[in-house]
Structure 1
Amino acid sequence: PGAYSEARVMPAERLVKLPAGISDVQAAAMMLKGMTVQYLIRRTYPVRPGEMVLWHAAAGGVGLIACQWLKALGATVIGTVSSDEKARIAAAHGCDHPIVYTREDFVARVRAITGGQGLPVVYDSVGKSTFPASLDCLRPRGLFVSFGNASGPVPPFELSLLMQKGSLYATRPNLAAYTATRAELEATAQELFDVVLSGRVKVEISRTYRLQAAAQVHRDLESRATHGSIVMVP
């Protein structure tokens, strides 16, 4: 609420100061997405060097930040995308194995890439259309991280499904719980600033729109005509 406005009154304790080198437009493109990536790959499941992970929607605004940050951590990134163009974009941002899910079975590809072992973690912001297939990408005792529902919410399921598929874990985190205190908010933002200012993560702004063009923004989003981040400016 309040995002589609020229100015907004906010509690000071929920704001952080932008460092030199990060513009307002860049911040608009990266703060929510980048802090989401931070808590997911640094705290929900702390990714270690040499690990493989699956990231759904790898060419989206969150996905492109995640691919770069995961590579900086030394991980191997498998990512799903909807088109060949988005596969190229994801690859250019660090995705080692882009999978065009509209024509490829991503579970079979993951199994082939991992030699049948499966993955320690799957990050899924898509929701309904990738579930329960995401679970089939995990190794025994792997973690399914559901942090969005672009295709609709994950349908209700029996907890015994997690047992049947290998004693899996599942979690549905959100940013608010990971930045509940002032110290957590500042630490999350600072780590994001550090990786961006160091050049390890570049924020992809594919297009800017005037605020008055909000309807066109929604049309472009719904038609999947965008990649990376888009920003509306006054």
Structure 2
Amino acid sequence: MMSGCTEVIKKELLDRAELYQTGSEDSNYLEQLFKLKLLPDFIIDGLNFMPPLNNIRYLKPPSSLLEEPLSTLVKKNHLSSLFEIAYQPHKPGILWEKISQLPHEIRLLLAAHCQTPTVILQGLLYDIEAQIRTIAAQSLIKTPEGTGYLIGYYAKTAPPVISAIILLHPQTSPSILAAMTEQVKCVHCWLVKYAIAQHPNTPISVLKTLAVDSHPQVQDAAKIQLQGYSKSSVISA
């Protein structure tokens, strides 16, 4: 069920997105999302994105290093203990803390290497250096679950308007939409709530909450979704 993003909302998002289009290296979320192919078409067309968006270049490690098996690099750089933790479930906090203590060159190498485990790439998304965060995202998007994880990452860490834009992505999961509904209570951005309300993957329980939201457009989008579910139930019966 999907009420869809109306032309009025698209214009609102476009107008606000323009503020970020010429952002700094560290804050230009739109450029990152464009390169990761996570932006909706109306944003790309409306802002006339043409690659490259700016002259920022992220230097990766030498090809000779990236072509070496990861196991070889692990031995050379004494990373065995780190990778032991990486393969242990339920210890991402400990792992990411250890990653943050690695030298720049090693973190950069891990971010760019095609064999780096997903959980390490996820940790590198929170690196203190924009270069490493960006390269880690580019590597992560190539993994089976990368798109879904990055949608959640950007939705939770980007400014509200960018969160609203990324939440329009069709692969946004019900769990992310539900989590963002809780987070947005502290942000008070109706566009984020609207993006959640119009999404076909939003759980019914969340839609019921948004159907009584204080913002009329959020209410309307949620009610349209709920009506669609009701009609489907009648047809199925």
Q: Shorter-chain TM-score: which interval?
A: under 0.3
Q: Which has the larger radius of gyration?
A: 2
Task: Provide the TM-score with structure 1 as the length reference.
Answer: 0.28
Task: Provide the TM-score with structure 2 as the length reference.
Answer: 0.28
Larger strand percent: 1
